[in-house]
């Protein structure tokens, strides 16, 4: 039976006969020997296969070029090179040849070029490592919550509610958009649409998540999220994965505590399980990324209120493109200043002005700020956004009125506050932002297999 290359590389070079399967990464022809490196994605390194050409029929090596798929049988022996083991070939079988126009010939490619070859890029060192780290992180997310008694809940992807109220939603419709049914006033008649109303792809599972938290206490969601972000940034996708825990009988302090323990847990797991991949990122993607993560894991996060953060930032207004004052949004450059210059570690900013946060955040006694929190990470900025939810029916209704939100649209959300309401809190982690942070990969488009963003949905 064939073994994964990772397993073979970790075995004793005991001369046993083994079989490996994979794609040829490189081929080097010497005078009497040919060296092949084959890789099967199980780890960063490939297995070196030594072909003694005196013993091998030349035909066997025909068509065995970079990118070709092969199975190789041979003896696992001690390697002369940097690796501990290599295979002394007995029998090579070519499965799929790979002509010269293969775009991933052995040389360095830019990530921009590879984005156009997204169907092949997982075969490169970089994208293979990203995929393995992404896998570990997904699993760690589930492990963290499962070990802490949270229930995994699947919230709908098609929804009629707009959680963030930001108008960044993709519409879902089966109407003929070139000729939709219209009402007398000329507006589109959505009662004729598939769901009998206007629907969108979800921008967050939070509201539905809250309903389950108010029954099961601690829940989390982990699923796709869609935002028609019309911004060309290195940290926004139109389709991304979000992790959203929600905890009943929990306030903002409990929320921040879970957020911090959660991030540290998934970072540690990845350093532990993907040592080789992480070393690769550290050498070729972002120098020092391992140290940064270790530092994050070992130091308590800094806490500051929005008001204090603004006080600090205002003094430095001359250095910012967007000077701040109380009431302004904290933007990327400010987030970086707070984390990289002021705290030199992640910072949790709390108690934002209500005007710049969502309607569902709990209003503070001052009537001006809300119990929201953002976790900001050095070099990335916002990685988590969360809050204690407004659980008092009258205050929530008042807030919605101020914002012009219609009670009818949120009737079920409001009923949660009517029937056995409790303090509760939660947060959302953008999964790709977390992968970006851990790997040091600069652009979010390179940490998801098939990125969707403005003007791009190929594959």
| Closest distance to ligand ATP from the beta carbon of 408 (Å) | 24
DSSP reduced 3-state for 298: helix
Q: Which is nearer to ligand ATP, 334 or 399 (CB)?
A: 334
Q: Which is nearer to ligand ATP, 74 or 451 (CB)?
A: 451
| Closest distance to ligand ATP from the beta carbon of 239 (Å) | 8
| Closest distance to ligand ATP from the beta carbon of 265 (Å) | 17
232 token code pair: 């060309």
Q: Which is nearer to ligand ATP, 236 or 354 (CB)?
A: 236
Helices (H), 41-181: 58-61, 111-115, 125-147
Q: Which is nearer to ligand ATP, 22 or 428 (CB)?
A: 428
What whole-number distance in Å separates Cα of residue 135 and Cα of residue 143? 12
Task: Give 102's contacts (C-beta < 8 A, 6+ positions apart).
Answer: 65, 66, 67
Q: What number of other Cβ atoms are within 10 A of residue 355's Cβ?
A: 12
Q: Which is nearer to ligand ATP, 51 or 203 (CB)?
A: 203
| Closest distance to ligand ATP from the beta carbon of 166 (Å) | 7
Q: Which is nearer to ligand ATP, 27 or 227 (CB)?
A: 227
| Closest distance to ligand ATP from the beta carbon of 430 (Å) | 2
Q: Which is nearer to ligand ATP, 278 or 444 (CB)?
A: 444
| Closest distance to ligand ATP from the beta carbon of 146 (Å) | 22
Q: Which is nearer to ligand ATP, 227 or 354 (CB)?
A: 227
User: Which residue bears the tokens 């959300």?
Assistant: 413
| Closest distance to ligand ATP from the beta carbon of 452 (Å) | 10
For 86-121, give one letter per residue: b (16+ CB within 10 A) or e.
bbbbbebebeeebeeeeebeeeeeebeebbebbeeb
| Closest distance to ligand ATP from the beta carbon of 364 (Å) | 19
What whole-number distance in Å separates Cα of residue 64 and Cα of residue 141? 41
What stretch of H or E contains 224?
strand 218-226
13 token code pair: 């070079």
Task: Give 398's contacts (C-beta < 8 A, 6+ positions apart).
Answer: none
What whole-number distance in Å separates Cα of residue 111 and Cα of residue 124? 11
| Closest distance to ligand ATP from the beta carbon of 367 (Å) | 23
Q: Which is nearer to ligand ATP, 74 or 385 (CB)?
A: 385
Q: Which is nearer to ligand ATP, 260 or 432 (CB)?
A: 432
Angle at 146 between CA 142 and CA 150, to 5 degrees: 105
| Closest distance to ligand ATP from the beta carbon of 8 (Å) | 37
Q: Which is nearer to ligand ATP, 21 or 382 (CB)?
A: 382
For 17-56, give one letter per residue: b (16+ CB within 10 A) or e.
ebbbbbbbbebeeeeeebebbbbbbbbbbbbbbbbebeeb
DSSP reduced 3-state for 440: coil
| Closest distance to ligand ATP from the beta carbon of 312 (Å) | 20
Answer yes or no: are the C-beta atoms of 316 and 342 closer than 8 Å.
Answer: no
Going by DSSP bridges, is the β-strand pair 199-201/158-159 parallel, antiparallel, or unpaired? antiparallel
What stretch of H or E contains 218?
strand 218-226
380 token code pair: 């990335």
Q: What number of other Cβ atoms are within 10 A of residue 163's Cβ?
A: 21
Q: Which is nearer to ligand ATP, 245 or 385 (CB)?
A: 385
User: Which residue bears the tokens 């079988």?
Assistant: 93
| Closest distance to ligand ATP from the beta carbon of 316 (Å) | 21
Closest CA relative to residue 67, chosen from 111, 104, 17 = 104
What is the contact surface with ligand ATP in residues (CB under 6 A)?
Answer: 164, 227, 229, 236-237, 240, 242, 382-385, 428-430, 432-433
């Amino acid at each position: 039976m064939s073994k994964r290359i990772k397993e073979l590389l970790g075995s004793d070079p005991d001369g046993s006969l083994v079989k490996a399967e994979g794609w040829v990464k490189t081929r080097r022809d010497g005078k009497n020997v040919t060296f092949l490196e084959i890789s099967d994605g199980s780890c960063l390194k490939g297995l070196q296969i030594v072909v003694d050409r005196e013993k091998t029929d030349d035909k066997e090596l025909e068509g065995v070029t970079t990118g070709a798929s092969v199975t190789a049988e041979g003896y696992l022996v001690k390697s002369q090179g940097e690796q501990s083991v290599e295979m002394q070939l007995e029998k090579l079988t070519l499965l799929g040849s790979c002509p010269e126009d293969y775009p991933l010939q052995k040389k360095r490619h830019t990530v921009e070029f590879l984005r156009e070859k997204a169907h092949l890029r997982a075969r490169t060192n970089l994208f293979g490592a990203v995929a393995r780290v992404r896998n570990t992180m997904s699993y760690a997310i589930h492990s963290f919550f499962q070990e802490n008694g949270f229930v995994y809940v699947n919230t709908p992807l098609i929804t009629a509610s707009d959680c963030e109220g930001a108008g960044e939603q993709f519409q879902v419709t089966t109407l003929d958009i070139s000729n939709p049914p219209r009402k007398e006033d000329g507006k589109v008649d959505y009662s004729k649409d598939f769901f009998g109303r206007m629907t969108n792809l979800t921008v967050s599972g939070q509201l539905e998540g809250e309903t389950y938290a108010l029954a099961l206490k601690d829940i989390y969601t982990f699923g796709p999220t869609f935002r028609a972000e019309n911004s060309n940034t290195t940290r926004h996708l139109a389709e991304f994965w979000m992790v959203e825990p929600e905890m009943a009988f929990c306030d903002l302090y409990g929320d921040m505590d879970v957020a911090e323990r959660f991030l540290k847990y998934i970072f540690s797991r990845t350093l532990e399980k993907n040592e080789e991949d992480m070393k690769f990122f550290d050498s070729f993607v972002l120098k020092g990324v391992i140290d940064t993560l270790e530092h994050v894991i070992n130091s308590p996060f800094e806490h500051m209120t929005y008001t204090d953060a603004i006080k600090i930032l205002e003094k430095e207004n001359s250095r910012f493109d967007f000077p701040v004052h109380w009431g302004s949004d904290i933007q990327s450059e400010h987030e970086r200043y707070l984390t990289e210059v002021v705290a030199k570690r992640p910072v949790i900013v709390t108690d934002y002005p209500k005007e710049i946060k969502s309607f569902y955040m709990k209003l503070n006694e001052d009537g001006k700020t809300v119990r929201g929190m953002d976790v900001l990470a050095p070099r990335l900025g916002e990685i988590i956004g969360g809050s204690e939810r407004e659980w008092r029916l009258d205050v929530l209704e008042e807030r919605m009125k101020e914002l012009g939100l219609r009670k009818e649209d949120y009737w079920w959300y409001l009923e949660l506050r009517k029937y056995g309401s409790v303090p509760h809190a939660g947060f959302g982690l953008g999964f790709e932002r977390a992968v970006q942070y851990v790997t040091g990969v600069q652009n979010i488009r390179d940490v998801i297999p098939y990125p969707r963003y403005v003007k791009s949905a190929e594959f």
